[in-house]
Amino acid sequence: MKKPTNKIKERYNRISKVYNIMDHMIRSSWRKEILSDLKGEILEVGVGTGASFEYYPMKVNVTGIDFSPKMLDIAQSKIPKSKAEIKLLEMDIEQMNFPDNSFDTVISSCVFCSVPNPIEGLKEIRRVVKPEGKIIMLEHMRSENAVVGKILDLTNPFTVRLTGANVNRETIKNLEAAGLKLIKEEYLMTSIMRKLIISPNK
């Protein structure tokens, strides 16, 4: 594993026990909206402590991956709360061990703020999702407001050091650079928090 990747992984291992107290950014209504109608084979990247598990419907197979074993330990304890079939694997989003075209849908929530090399991770997602499949994300990113964007740039070194998360990622540009196509974009909390529907085909 590369050095910056190890650093971020260690940060998530460190905060795993307090993560649920810290994490109030994602509303449960947003999770419900993106997860409750899914079908088929689902991959959730960066599952963290498994906050999404209770919103998956019955009869879907969910494979959840994360590179932090400590976050995964907590996620494992939430599996009984879910109606879905969930299996968890310790894996780096940037180097996944799945064959091409394996999943109908890929889910991420507040993950691409912390993936060390986001474009590499997005390319991997493009590889493992079926050509007719889709990617659904709830992600926070740099504000489109110039002043707020600058404030996020200034605070970014502190948030990365403290939590492993960047607050100024240019996720829309990263999607484009990874060869993904943005189908729908919805602002949930100004332009900082967005719901994205993405196609693997340009």
Residue with tokens 């050095």: 3
Under rule CB under 6 A, which residues in 177-196 are in contact with ligand SAM?
A: none
φ/ψ of 38, rounded to 5, equals -75, 155
Round to whole Å and give the CA distance between 200 and 202.
Answer: 7
Residues paired with 106 in a beta bridge:
43, 135
The dihedral region occupied by 162, where left means phi > 0, alpha psi between -120 and 50, and beta the remainder, is alpha
Q: How far is the CB of 26 from ligand SAM (least distance, A)?
A: 5
> What is the Cβ-side half-sphere exposure of residue 158, based on CA atoms within 13 angstroms?
5
Instruction: Provide the mask over 79-118, with x wherever binding to ligand SAM is found by CB under 6 A and - wherever it is not.
Output: -------------xxx--------------xxx--xxx--
Question: According to the binding rule CB under 6 A, does residue 124 interact with ligand SAM?
Answer: no
Residue span binding ligand SAM (CB under 6 A) among the ranges 33-41, 43-51, 148-156, 172-180:
43-51
Where on the chain is the footprint of ligand SAM (CB under 6 A)? 8, 12, 23, 26, 46-48, 51-52, 65-68, 71, 92-94, 109-111, 114-116, 121, 165
